[in-house]
Structure 1
Amino acid sequence: MNKNIKNWLLVGATVTFMTACDSRLDVKPTQSIEESTALATSQDVEVTLIGAYDGLSSINLYGGAVQYSGDLLGDDAEVRFAGTFSTLDELWRKTMTTTNGQTQSTWLQAYNTINRANNVLATLDKLEASKKAKVEGEARFIRGLVYFDLVRLWAKAWGDGDNNTNLGVPLVTTPTRVVGETDNRPRATVAAVYAQVLEDLTKAESLLGNISDAGFASKNAVQAILARVYLQQGNYAAARDAANRVISSGQFALAPSFPEAFDDATNDGEMIFKVIVTDQDGGNDLNTFYAPSTYQGRGDIRIQAKHLALYSAGDTRGTFFVRASNNNFTAKFLDQYGDVPVVRLAEMYLIRAEANQRLGTSVGATPLADINLIRARAGARTLTTVDLNAILTERKLELAFEGQQVHDAKRLKRNVGTLAFSDNKLVIPIPQREIDTNKALVQNPGY
């Protein structure tokens, strides 16, 4: 099934290439394509949707940047960035500048991908009737997912002050085709961005069916991201119920062992949504920065003794590291062409356990049963009782290096080193390029 998805992505790129070749000799003196020509048929809209997936898979988005940005920004001396890229070093040291080239690239790629989704959503009438619901659901999932991580990285966290006045990111929900003054959008509030995220995701959930392959959006993938959104907001009942819908769907199973959860050959049942990587398309910058050169990486992000000391004896997660050049590296991303996990089943058990514990409920299972399921898979000893701190520790160990570090610190109101969870240094500045070209934008405090 995974091979079929990769072939579809390649077909989408091939169709675009062949179309360009066919018309290569018929060059018109124009610098743009009329909308009526570019998005005239159902196939045009479907290819544009593939383009939105391609945008997601960029190394500047879910091919790595979204994940390592969250982890480097939230790191508390558990890793060391030892590379030569000053852009990532700024994230790790919390000394970001408004001209950081990597954060600018992530911002631009995010809005480029949102615009592709907007183009799809604006031309749903071109689709064959049988395809309309699925395509709309996929485009809304993509837009909702990207806006969620934009507002988490570039704005104050939900609940850190007034969500109705704190500035989020610009909301653009219609296609941008010719840039003009009307495209200089101000930043919407944090509350408004979250409202758009929830509108897109809840609509997508109603339109999509269950998973067919983790490389594409599905009802299950939407539910998993909804669980994240609700957890970030402290809406524990909704987070619990969304996670429970994923688990109880029967579409997934934990990989037999923790290492197998990160092996493309054995993790199909655990991955809910992932970025497909092939030697033709997609990128895995988690391999680039987290893996040593013996696994085609740069070895820039090195795991420190403070993190290794968190694991108990017998926990295979505590040995899922490789050593090279006298440094330790996570073994989660050793395959250069490995698909990049965005959300997996283990996280749903952790969300359900935390929410049930906070609410004093046992929807789906007790918190103790869910935590012991995760621990048993890792070979850790079975617990007889569990409290909130134990659940949060389990979450940290299971999801380490998968992008949730700074977001968990903010929602749990925990310091990052000497910085309070609300410190301006834990919010990425709006790229200076955007401030210079869009006078409606206001920079984040502290920059």
Structure 2
Amino acid sequence: MNKNKIFGILMLLFITTACSDSFLEIAPEDRLTTDNYYNDDTQMLTGGASLYNRPWFLFNEKFVLCLDVYAGNASGDYVDIAQFNKFAVFAANQFTTEGYQSLFSVIAYSNSLLDIVENKAGPAVTTEVKEWSRGEGLFMRSLAYFYLVRTFGAVPILEDINQYGTDVVVRKNNVEDIYTLIKRDLAEAAQLLPIKWSDANLGRATKGATHGLLAEVYLTLGEYDKAKEHADLVINSGLYSLMPEYSDNFQPKNGVTPDNNNESVFELQWVSPPQGQHWYYTNTHQAYLAAASKLTGVGDGWATFIPCLDFIRAYEEGDLRRQPTIMEKGNFYPELVTKEGGFLVENALTNNYAGYRKYVVGSPEEWPSVNFMNTDVNTHIMRYAEVLLIRAEAILGTATSTTDAIALGDINKVRARAGLPALTEITLDDILQERRMELAIESGDRWFDLARIDRAKAIEILSNTDRAYLADRNDPESGSADGGRFVVPKESDFLLPLPQVETDINPLLLDEAVPYDFNK
């Protein structure tokens, strides 16, 4: 672990946002320190607000999108993205490094919040708010470690701010210990967090978010009964439902934000920059996914990530998710480029590539908070649709197929919204297909799905995934005669290398992982 890096993160001013009309509203930073703040409930809740955006920024900017490239949903020719396309990710890869460091920033922020709750909260802070804040810290730390362990395998467990000193020896800990930490912390967070928050705190972690994450953790570990148990708690709570249309989750409509709607279980919470600022801790997805600068009107829209042929061909006929997810020749979007009456996708775009529609909210004419390299639309970590699919898979378990009524009901609710016919029997392939089309370009789910299933099956799927994009069809240098790009992964490709900058500073990270002492 880069000890100096993390130590520096803890020296940052932790307070960055305030609780008034919204818990993410920007607060003045020049008068706040950890020693003179945290005197009442509002100030205590303010301390946790930064956890929802700032430390996640570099994770969200490109790293999480690169996971869809790794899985064969997307493609990109920028050198560090192309490494993901070719299963040739080097330890010096910029986006792997940024993702790793960003996730440890989340852990540092979480540990700082946990320390504040324990040691710096004033006497006026109520027990209830202390418990909520502790629950937030545990939830966020668990979420960060869940990404780390699935992506990099063994990494250091840091759960105490005293572990961050420059003279502290930091080693990797065993994967099973990381999962023990995740399950332990989420179980406690589920007891501490509220069922729901006030409107002013909408978007903060809840019991439902915790149980949803636990369901995904247990699914990853193949503990299907527990995965179903936690998915049941989310579904049976009655607090969540599918939005009428798939696009309701990603596109502002009639001036209404898609954020934190009835389908949202947990999202990263992005905010607009202060007046006059362009660079801020906001969502940059539109800049890299939009296929033309005309769509954004602010100088970005670079098609850095584009759909690959395998993903395009994976759509079933009539799937209503297709046009809200990808842009293809002939598609018309009246809600974009409204000053010209809408946007028609023509040959100029599709001769070379299809584009992504998902997370593209348009220009300032369509959504006033749009700025160069940022929007304030949230990033989905988990939606209710995914919880339904988790329960369906948990019911299937290790069986070849199932006709269980609950499992069928869950997957068919997702398919019905997509305009697809109901299934009468489901297999793992059916669930993986549905998850791929439902959750693409959200939180790396396709890659994590392939990494957790039978390894031989995953290698077969990935080996037959065409990573080409449209321009490759007429490019004999790209691969096969029809322009295909096929790459066979190795066993070692299922974990990314630890960043070289981290192992250079701390060579102990190259040693074998060691057990973690939970009793110290």
Q: TM-score, normalising length from structure 1?
A: 0.83
Whether the 8 Å contact between 2:432 and 2:449 is mirrored in structure 1 is no
- Residue aligning to 1:275: 268
Q: Which moved more, 1:224-233 or 1:421-430?
A: 421-430
CA distances 1:195-244 after superposition (whole Å, capped 9, x unpaired): 11111111101111113366211111111111111111111111111112
Whether the 8 Å contact between 2:53 and 2:268 is mirrored in structure 1 is no
- Residue aligning to 1:71: 68
- Residue aligning to 1:29: none
Whether the 8 Å contact between 1:314 and 1:380 is mirrored in structure 2 is yes
Q: What percent identity do the matched residue pairs reach?
A: 24
> What secondary structure is seen at the aligned counterpart in 1 of 2:508?
coil
CA RMSD in angstroms, aligned pairs only: 2.9
Name the CA distance, whole Å, in 1 between partners of 2:37 and 2:502. 28
What is the CA distance between 1:74 and its match in structure 2? 2.0
- Residue aligning to 1:404: 445
Letter aligned with residue 96 of structure 1: V
Change beyond 3 A, Cα 1:422–1:208: farther
- Residue aligning to 1:122: 115
Change beyond 3 A, Cα 1:273–1:395: same
Whether the 8 Å contact between 1:6 and 1:276 is mirrored in structure 2 is no
> What secondary structure is seen at the aligned counterpart in 2 of 1:334?
coil
| Correspondence 1:414-425 to 2 at 5 A | 414-415=458-459, 416-417=462-463, 423-425=491-493
Name the CA distance, whole Å, in 2 between partners of 1:441 and 1:172. 14
1:172 corresponds to which of 158, 178, 186: 158
- Residue aligning to 2:497: 429
- Residue aligning to 2:397: 358
What is the CA distance between 1:365 and its match in structure 2? 5.5
Q: Which moved more, 1:235-244 or 1:379-388?
A: 379-388
Whether the 8 Å contact between 1:48 and 1:119 is mirrored in structure 2 is no
Q: Is residue 310 from structure 1 mapped to residue 349 from structure 2 by the alignment?
A: no
Name the CA distance, whole Å, in 1 between partners of 2:403 and 2:113. 37
Q: Where in structure 2 are there 5+ consecutive unaligned residues?
A: 1-17, 274-279, 329-344, 362-374, 464-485, 514-520
Name the CA distance, whole Å, in 2 between partners of 1:444 and 1:39. 42
Letter aligned with residue 405 of structure 1: R
> What secondary structure is seen at the aligned counterpart in 2 of 1:263?
coil
- Residue aligning to 2:172: 187
- Residue aligning to 2:49: 50
Letter aligned with residue 179 of structure 1: G
Q: Is residue 98 from structure 1 mapped to residue 91 from structure 2 by the alignment?
A: yes
> What secondary structure is seen at the aligned counterpart in 2 of 1:145?
helix
- Residue aligning to 1:152: 150
Name the CA distance, whole Å, in 2 between partners of 1:397 and 1:269. 20
CA distances 1:114-134 after superposition (whole Å, capped 9, x unpaired): 112112212324332231110
Aligned length: 407
Whether the 8 Å contact between 2:19 and 2:45 is mirrored in structure 1 is no
Q: Is residue 205 from structure 1 mapped to residue 190 from structure 2 by the alignment?
A: yes
Q: Which moved more, 1:414-423 or 1:91-100?
A: 414-423
Name the CA distance, whole Å, in 2 between partners of 1:276 and 1:174. 25
Change beyond 3 A, Cα 1:424–1:67: same
Letter aligned with residue 74 of structure 2: V
Name the CA distance, whole Å, in 1 between partners of 2:142 and 2:109. 13
What is the CA distance between 1:250 and its match in structure 2? 0.8
Q: Is residue 384 from structure 1 mapped to residue 424 from structure 2 by the alignment?
A: yes
Q: Which moved more, 1:138-147 or 1:426-435?
A: 426-435
Name the CA distance, whole Å, in 1 between partners of 2:289 and 2:511. 31
What is the CA distance between 1:298 and its match in structure 2? 1.6
Q: Is residue 235 from structure 1 mapped to residue 223 from structure 2 by the alignment?
A: yes
Q: Where in structure 1 are there 5+ consecutive unaligned residues?
A: 21-32, 156-167
- Residue aligning to 1:138: 136
Change beyond 3 A, Cα 1:383–1:132: same
Whether the 8 Å contact between 1:115 and 1:176 is mirrored in structure 2 is no
- Residue aligning to 2:508: 440
> What secondary structure is seen at the aligned counterpart in 2 of 1:98?
coil
Change beyond 3 A, Cα 1:6–1:385: farther
> What secondary structure is seen at the aligned counterpart in 2 of 1:341?
strand
Whether the 8 Å contact between 2:190 and 2:207 is mirrored in structure 1 is yes
What is the CA distance between 1:172 and its match in structure 2? 0.6
Change beyond 3 A, Cα 1:387–1:91: closer
Letter aligned with residue 328 of structure 1: A
Letter aligned with residue 427 of structure 2: D
Q: Is residue 337 from structure 1 mapped to residue 376 from structure 2 by the alignment?
A: yes
Name the CA distance, whole Å, in 2 between partners of 1:131 and 1:224. 22
Q: Is residue 257 from structure 1 mapped to residue 262 from structure 2 by the alignment?
A: no
Change beyond 3 A, Cα 1:359–1:241: farther
CA distances 1:378-419 after superposition (whole Å, capped 9, x unpaired): 111222333332222212221122211221111112112277
Letter aligned with residue 263 of structure 2: E
Whether the 8 Å contact between 1:214 and 1:272 is mirrored in structure 2 is no
Change beyond 3 A, Cα 1:234–1:56: farther
Letter aligned with residue 91 of structure 2: T
Name the CA distance, whole Å, in 2 between partners of 1:381 and 1:65. 35
Name the CA distance, whole Å, in 2 between partners of 1:150 and 1:237. 24
Change beyond 3 A, Cα 1:240–1:228: same
CA distances 1:130-173 after superposition (whole Å, capped 9, x unpaired): 31110000110010000110111112xxxxxxxxxxxx100110
Letter aligned with residue 270 of structure 1: E
- Residue aligning to 2:477: none
